[in-house]
Amino acid sequence: MPNIVIVGTQWGDEGKGKMVDLFSEYANVIVRFQGGNNAGHTLVVKGEQVILHLIPSGILHPNKLCIIGNGVVVDPGVLIEEIEGLKEKGHFKDSENLKVSEEAHIIMPYHKTLDILRDKARKKGKIGTTGRGIGPAYEDKASRVGIRMGDLKDPKRLKERVNLALAEKNFIIKEYLGADPLNPDEMFEYLMALSDKVVGYITNTSLLLNKKIAEGASVMFEGAQGALLDVDHGTFPFVTSSHTVAGAAATGSGVGPTVIDGVYGITKAYTTRVGSGPFPTELSDEIGKRLQKKGAEFGATTGRRRRCGWFDAVAVGHSTRLNGLSGLIITKLDVLSGLDTLKICIGYKIDGEVRDDFPSDIPSLENAEPVYIELPGWKEEIDKARNFEELPKTARDYIGKIEEILGVPAAIISVGPDREDTIIIKNPFEE
């Protein structure tokens, strides 16, 4: 049974929620391997809207093991809220279906405070973070003062870890941010009050996952955000603080890369971005507004309006290479219906020179003038199409052009928000 990584190839919000929900049917185990509750999936279950930020949406399917891997940063308050919300609505019946890595780092209340205060202090260079404490939690992991989920199982160790973390944090809070220092005892009590509700889920998830794989389970590694927000390969510093590319599926869940059989990249048929940072194909005209409206481009986590633009094959080409994509999952093709002409960016003109690689420095990206090819659009709505052949010729040509430029075949095309509004050319989970 194949083990498949699903990642975003743009700046996040590519429509992973629907796809991950669709594939949960075929996988036995679903794993989150990076990020935290900066992500957000909106799903409709039996007519009821469910928004999940942390727990893999596979939890809504019976008998699927959902794992929050070591690479994720966990806000225990959010975790409990999601568990309780799901249980209340009858969506999560068997507690054995959720496991959280003992090695996953905890997002502490001060991480959120620091995240918000810091971004505010950046003024013009503001990243526009989600304010969920993601960056500061990863910082503490790298500087080895973070507190891990496993520490909740051992109050003595937990106390030591809290004291160690706060010695340094309080210096920053007091001296740099001019705010009141935090009381280590109160912080310890805060964690102890939450721990009872989560310790039952905490385990060695790497061991568990490898065992499941050895028994023949099929695993879906569910990426959050997108490759252009990767802390190394994205538009640094306007990025998130984790590795969002497929390689992180191995390190973030404790498996070897050789267990991965395929990587599928979710790609919106146009481009969107929330938060700050360069966006070469951004449209500030009527077409941009139309994409925003028709595509309902508002963030599930922060409710912010997403910036919209044409499909950027230079940026997605960069992601294709970084992720080693086996196939493309093209979403929201229906949002482009009704436009006379469509544009695809195939190069950037920077300082008079046209290039087709994605620059790693912000000034080049800010100066990049997109070089477009134009293709005819289609007038008719396409949400009823279930086979590739049922799409208008111009829509097929648009997909064909993207495949040709990227050198990767399209496996799935999404033509509407519902599960059924999907054209499956090749199911990644069927060998």
Active site residues: 13, 41
The DSSP symbol for 249 reads H
Q: Which of 24, 37, 97, 240 binds ligand IMP (CB under 6 A)?
A: 240
The region of 131-139, 144-152, 201-209, 245-253 touching ligand IMP under the rule CB under 6 A is 131-139
C-alpha to C-alpha distance for 395 and 214, rounded to whole angstroms: 42
Question: Is 282 a residue that touches ligand IMP (CB under 6 A)?
Answer: no
Give, as ranges, the residues between 154 and 183 that touch ligand IMP (CB under 6 A).
none
Of 152-160, 235-243, 324-332, 418-426, the segment contacting ligand IMP by CB under 6 A is: 235-243
**127 binding ligand IMP? (CB under 6 A):** yes
Q: What is the dihedral of CA 205, 211, 214, 219, to 10 degrees?
A: -30
- Segment near ligand IMP (CB under 6 A); pick from 132-140, 188-196, 210-218, 374-382: 132-140
Whether residue 271 contacts residue 279, with contact meaning beta carbons closer than 8 Å, is answered with yes
**Quick one: CA torsion of 350, 351, 354, 355, rounded to 10 degrees?**
-50
229 in contact with ligand IMP (CB under 6 A): yes
**Residue 353 neighbours by CB distance under 10 Å:** 8
- In the complex, least distance from residue 430 CB atom to ligand IMP, rounded to whole angstroms: 28
Binds ligand IMP by CB under 6 A, chosen from 134, 191, 198, 316:
134
* Nearest position to ligand IMP, beta carbon: 275
Binding-site residue total for ligand IMP (CB under 6 A)? Answer: 20
Residue 128 binds ligand IMP (CB under 6 A): yes
Residue 400 in contact with ligand IMP, rule: CB under 6 A: no
Residue 225 touches ligand IMP, criterion: CB under 6 A: yes
Establish if 235 lies at the interface with ligand IMP (CB under 6 A).
no
The residue range among 6-14, 93-101, 158-166, 358-366 that interacts with ligand IMP, by the rule CB under 6 A, is 6-14
Q: Does 275 bind ligand IMP (CB under 6 A)?
A: yes
List the one residue from 43, 152, 224, 391 that touches ligand IMP (CB under 6 A): 224
Structure tokens at 428: 């990644």
Stretch that binds ligand IMP, among 146-154, 221-229, 379-387, 419-427 (CB under 6 A): 221-229
According to CB under 6 A, which one of 9, 13, 152, 336 is a site residue for ligand IMP?
A: 13
Q: Does 274 bind ligand IMP (CB under 6 A)?
A: yes
Least distance from ligand IMP to the Cβ atom of residue 33, Å: 14
Which one of residues 70, 129, 267, 414 is an interface residue with ligand IMP (CB under 6 A)?
Answer: 129
Residues 21-80 contacting ligand IMP, CB under 6 A: 38-39
Q: Is 19 in the site for ligand IMP (CB under 6 A)?
A: no
Q: Is the peptide bond before 237 cis (omega within 30 degrees of 0)?
A: yes
Residue pointed to by tokens 């999907």: 422
**Residue 126 binds ligand IMP, judged by CB under 6 A:** no
What is the spatial distance between Cα 404 and Cα 158, in angstroms, rounded to a whole number? Answer: 54
Does 271 engage in binding with ligand IMP (CB under 6 A)? no
Amino acid identity at 133? G
* 12 lines the binding site for ligand IMP (CB under 6 A): yes
Select 218 or 301, whichever has its Cβ closest to ligand IMP.
301
112 or 343: CB nearest ligand IMP: 112
Among candidate residues 73, 55, 79, the one with its CA nearest the CA of residue 195: 79
Interface with ligand IMP (CB under 6 A): 11-13, 38-39, 127-130, 132, 134-135, 224-225, 229, 238, 240-241, 274-275
